[in-house]
Amino acid sequence: MTINPDTLKVTINERDSVSALLYAAPKKERAAITIILGHGAGAGQLSPFMRLFANGLAERGFDAMTFNFVYLEQGRRVPDPKAKLEACYRAVIEAANQHKKLKGNRLVIGGKSMGGRIASQVAALECRGLTPLSNELTSRRPPKLGTKSRQVPESEIKSTPIGLEATNVAGLVFLGYPLHPPGKPEQLRDAHLKNIRAPMLFVQGSRDAFGTSEEIRAVVKKHRLPATLYVIEGGDHSFKVPKSSRVPQQQIYEKVLDEISRWL
């Protein structure tokens, strides 16, 4: 099924605005959850990867929203400074909260690579943590997939929960979290993650140059994150597996979408 998205305009400030796409779930399938996905540094919301995941989530009953960060919307290649990226993501969250089709939905944020990282920074900065709208996402464990998934029990989390009324984020989904620059494992981007109280799902390839699944597992353990890790064996930063695996790439993507759906 192909979902025809609605095109939206999101105002960031007096000078800047960006386009967003809302992939509304079929009415009979709606799960009353909105998931916002930010794109990676090198490709925008119209990339095949972003379209595939937004469409796939909508097919599974979730209202999916994608958007362009300001720099890409304006035709520039170099990402904006961190503060500007975060301001853009916050504006998209506000637009989703105010959209008539999405009112009453629980909100999940995340994205591919940089988009997911910015979502996590927004989550960590806003009141230094997030509390889910309901206990469902923390009390309900996703089904185990062998030894590839592990959720840290909430009882192990020692940080103090602080509510976030402005965004009401119930969870975060990372499609290839950029833990560090390729070849520089010492430059970790993980310190802020410990401030996030909402459940997190990390989808990570075992050979991701930006952080392998084992490196993510170590971060989850170190910070005692309320997180689940789904490993794509042989997957790179875009979840692509070697041809020698003889597993169709589309099948890999469908399995990831199914895992996200179960987790939500």
pLDDT tens digit string along 5-15? 999 999 999 99
Q: Give the per-residue pLDDT at 28.
A: 86
Which domain range does residue 95 map to? 6-263
Each residue's pLDDT tens digit, 45-92: 999 999 999 999 999 999 999 999 999 999 999 999 999 999 999 999
If one counts the domains in the chain, the total is 1
Six token digits for residue 57: 């989530």
pLDDT at 142 over 60: no
pLDDT band at 32 (very low <50, low <70, confident <90, very high): very high
pLDDT at 104 over 80: yes
Q: Give the per-residue pLDDT at 136.
A: 42
Q: Is residue 68 part of a domain?
A: yes
Q: Give the per-residue pLDDT at 145.
A: 32
Q: Is residue 77 part of a domain?
A: yes
pLDDT band at 132 (very low <50, low <70, confident <90, very high): very low
pLDDT at 238 over 60: yes
122 and 168 in contact (C-beta within 8 Å)?
A: no
pLDDT at 131 over 90: no
Q: Is residue 117 part of a domain?
A: yes
Q: Is residue 164 part of a domain?
A: yes
| Strands ordered across the beta sheet of 17-23 | 6-11, 17-23, 63-67, 33-38, 106-112, 169-175, 200-205, 227-232
pLDDT at 146 over 90: no
Picking from 91-105, 158-172, 213-227, which range would have the lowest pLDDT averaged per residue?
Answer: 158-172
Tell me what the mean pLDDT of segment 179-207 comes to: 96
Q: Give the per-residue pLDDT at 164.
A: 38
Q: Is residue 1 part of a domain?
A: no
Residue 87 sits in a domain of what CATH number? Answer: 3.40.50.1820
pLDDT at 254 over 90: yes
Q: What percent of the chain has pLDDT over 70?
A: 84
Q: Is residue 212 part of a domain?
A: yes
Q: Is the pTM of this model over 0.95?
A: no
Each residue's pLDDT tens digit, 108-117: 999 999 999 9
Tell me what the mean pLDDT of segment 243-258 comes to: 94
